[in-house]
Amino acid sequence: MLDSAATSGPQRAALAGIRVIELANFVSGPFIGMQLADYGADVIKIEHPTRGDGIRTWGNRKNGIGLYHKVLNRNKKSVSADLGTPLGVEIARRLVARADVVIENFRPGTLEEWGLGYDVLSAVNPGLVLVRVSGFGQTGPYRERSGFGSLAEAMTGFAYTNGFADRPPLLPSFAMADSTTGLAGAFLTLAALEARRNNGGKGQIIDLPIYEPMLSLMGAQVVDYDQLGIVQQRQGSRLPLVSPRNTFRTRDGGWIALSGGAHAVFQRLCTALNVPELADDPRFSDNQKRLENADAIEQALQDAIGKFTLKEVAARLREHDAPGAPVYSVADMFEDPHLLARENITTVADEELQDGIQMPNVIGKFSETPGIVRHAAQRLGASNLEVLVKELGFDADELTAAGIKL
């Protein structure tokens, strides 16, 4: 509701004028706020005055500063309030009165215990969109269970299908379900704001369980089981729909990822690897036959690829317009000319990490109103004076007495 000062170039930012209050910790809720802030929404993050968001102390740190926190909470204002106290509730209520969106990811019922349920918040602001992220949603028999991304990854079929057939199921090595929820949550937030515009200004609740976005990403599993009784099993890097599709070792110990479902693409792949005869083999004459003979085709491709270095394979694939890509470590990403040209990793100045910090850039590129990383996450309570005293009119002495630093 308050106009955002965020701008990108000569025009106002895409989400300028949208104010978001973030009552969220760790990854899933803050990831939503990060996406909105990247495109200019005015995101005010409320954190406990002494503990702050738990992500501040998770993961790797430099000089005591949590590095992933610097990314997740970029472009936001940090404001301190203990929501378990009357003062904290009043701070939240005053902020909500001037906001468009509230994001929270506490266990269902927590906001109500604090006196900040939607009945209270919508009475203060009838146009409010409340985004409620939780493990299992606000309804259903699991609603009161604590929920984490790992549980969602387990219960939606991801872990069951991830890994090799003769080894245990594998969870991802990063917060996949939480991050996926963040992306979905940003879209749902904008959809709800558009619905508000189309329906007389009335807000609503978005009930977003962490497991639901993961379930929607699991490809054809549900429909295949419903119609054919197929239960997808673990098969490494293979894909049930396409063959070949796997990673292959090069002569110098590198790895290349290949995919060639369409036969014309497979032909180009074989030509690039100097084995054109494979494309004429009856066992590999179309995608379905290659799926039926996956072991044979992958062994033949491995034999061919093993004769080349990674650099040679990559060059040959480019020459013949065949799809393939080297398997990168994060160190390799920092050297890739395409990622550098598109500025996919950006350098951001930071008041706590004096040399600045590099992080993934905003997703997508707008031709007129691009998103931008204006600053990394603030120190705890850095915007207390600006927001609580100057904007909301709280007494500085009252805040200081409550342990809120200005």
Quickly tell me which residue has 């984490």 as its tokens: 148
Per the prediction, the chain carries an average pLDDT of 95
Residues 123 and 65 in one domain: yes
Residue-wise pLDDT tens digits, 203-221: 999 999 999 999 999 999 9
Please give the C-alpha separations between residue 379 and each of 4, 127, 297, 387, 392, in angstroms, as whole numbers: 21, 31, 55, 15, 20
| pLDDT tens, residue by residue, 346-382 | 999 999 998 899 999 999 999 999 999 999 999 999 9
108: tokens are: 């269902």
d(CA 359, CA 73): 12
Q: What is the pLDDT of residues 165-195, one digit of tens each?
A: 999 999 999 999 999 999 999 999 999 999 9
CB atoms within 10 A of CB 141: 7
Q: Residues 382, 302: one domain?
A: no
272 phi, psi to nearest 5 deg = -60, -35
Q: Which of 327, 355, 375 is the last residue of a domain?
A: 327
Q: What CATH number is attached to the domain comprising 82? A: 3.40.50.10540
Residue 67 has pLDDT above 90, yes or no: yes
Residues 196 and 47 in one domain: yes
- Statement to judge: residues 87 and 161 lie in one domain: yes
CATH number at residue 260: 3.30.1540.10
CA 227, CA 232: separation in Å to the nearest integer?
A: 13
Instruction: Specify whether 355 is located in the same domain as 255.
Output: no
| Shared-domain flag, residues 197 and 114 | yes
11 within some domain: yes
Quick check: is 300 in a domain?
A: yes
> Do 163 and 297 sit in the same domain of this protein?
no
To the nearest whole percent, how much of the chain has pLDDT over 90?
94
237 in any annotated domain: no
42 and 78 assigned to the same domain:
yes
Token pair listed for 377: 């996450």
- Number of Cβ within 10 Å of residue 104's Cβ equals 20
Q: Is the same domain home to 70 and 111?
A: yes
Give the three-class secondary structure for 358.
strand
CA dist., res. 78 & res. 348, Å (int):
17
Residue 154 lies in a domain: yes
Do 66 and 189 lie in a common domain? yes
- Whether 49 is in a domain gets the answer yes
Strands (E), 70-222: 76-80, 101-104, 129-134, 204-209
Q: State residue 1's pLDDT score.
A: 62
The SS3 of residue 255 is strand
* Per-residue pLDDT, 355: 87
- Do residues 192 and 100 both lie within one domain? yes
Positions marked catalytic: 178
Domain for residue 1, yes or no?
A: no
In this model, does residue 7 exceed pLDDT 70? Answer: no
Q: Where are the beta strands (DSSP E) in 195-285?
A: 204-209, 245-249, 255-259
- Looking at the structure of the chain, the number of domains it has is 2
Q: Indicate the residue among 293, 327, 361 that finishes a domain.
A: 327
Task: Render pLDDT for 285-343 as a digit per residue (tens, 0 to 9).
Answer: 999 999 999 999 999 999 999 999 999 999 999 999 999 999 999 999 999 999 999 99
Q: How far apart are CA 48 and CA 44, in angstroms?
A: 13
**Which residues constitute the domain of residue 280?**
245-327
pLDDT at residue 2 is higher than 60: no
